[in-house]
């Protein structure tokens, strides 16, 4: 039973850490132990409608979960994080970074320009150290490696759902981040 005790202790620690972040206004959803973190900066009306329960429950969240499943991720292998509080005020870079670190994803998918700008600010030093300017700027479609995380900026994902060509572009980007381990 020592293994179960350790798992219980880890779960309690993660839970306490996330509760502390939530008390400071961090808005997250999904599985806190997921390998993929979806970072959203520009909130839709659906996101705002029943906040905080509604983050990534609209068409964009459904499309992202379907895309991750098609790539081979387990259905529960995702978490979502807003770059702003429920009231719309931006998270401070330090708090955004603390939230990302607490969730400890292997892969971060940046879902819009606001999220890309927030991530750039939170990880400015690490991005500046990357060898490629395009990777350091989180250029849309490129996978950057930041502190052991794969970071992919898919552009304005929610807007891409309005056009078949844009959906295909987003899908092409997402195919660059397959699961790193065995498929489920």
- Tens of pLDDT, residue by residue over 52-94, are 667 898 999 999 999 999 999 999 999 999 999 878 899 999 9
CA atoms in the 13 A half-sphere facing the CB of 76 = 3
Residue 103 is predicted with a pLDDT of 93
> Please, what sign has the CA dihedral across residues 92, 95, 97, 99?
negative
Across the chain, mean pLDDT equals 90
Task: Please give the model's pTM, rounded to 2 decimal places.
Answer: 0.91
Percentage of the chain surpassing pLDDT 70? 90
Give the residue, 4 or 138, on which the prediction is more confident: 138
């Amino acid at each position: 039973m020592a293994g179960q005790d350790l798992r219980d202790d880890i779960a309690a620690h993660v839970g306490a850490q996330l509760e502390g972040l939530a008390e400071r206004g961090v808005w997250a959803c999904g599985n806190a132990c997921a390998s993929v973190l979806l970072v959203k900066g520009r909130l839709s009306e659906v996101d705002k409608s029943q906040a905080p329960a509604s983050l990534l429950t609209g068409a964009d969240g459904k499309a992202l979960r379907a895309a991750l499943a098609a790539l081979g991720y387990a259905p529960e292998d995702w978490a979502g994080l807003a770059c702003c509080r429920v009231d719309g005020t931006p998270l401070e870079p330090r708090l955004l970074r603390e939230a990302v670190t607490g969730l400890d994803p292997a892969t971060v998918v940046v879902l819009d320009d606001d999220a890309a700008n927030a991530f750039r600010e939170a990880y400015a030093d690490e991005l500046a150290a990357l060898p490629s300017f395009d990777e350091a700027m989180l250029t849309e479609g490129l996978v950057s490696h930041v502190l052991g995380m794969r970071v992919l900026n898919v552009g304005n994902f929610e807007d891409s759902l309005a056009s078949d060509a844009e959906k295909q572009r987003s899908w092409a980007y997402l195919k660059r981040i397959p699961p790193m381990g065995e498929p489920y």
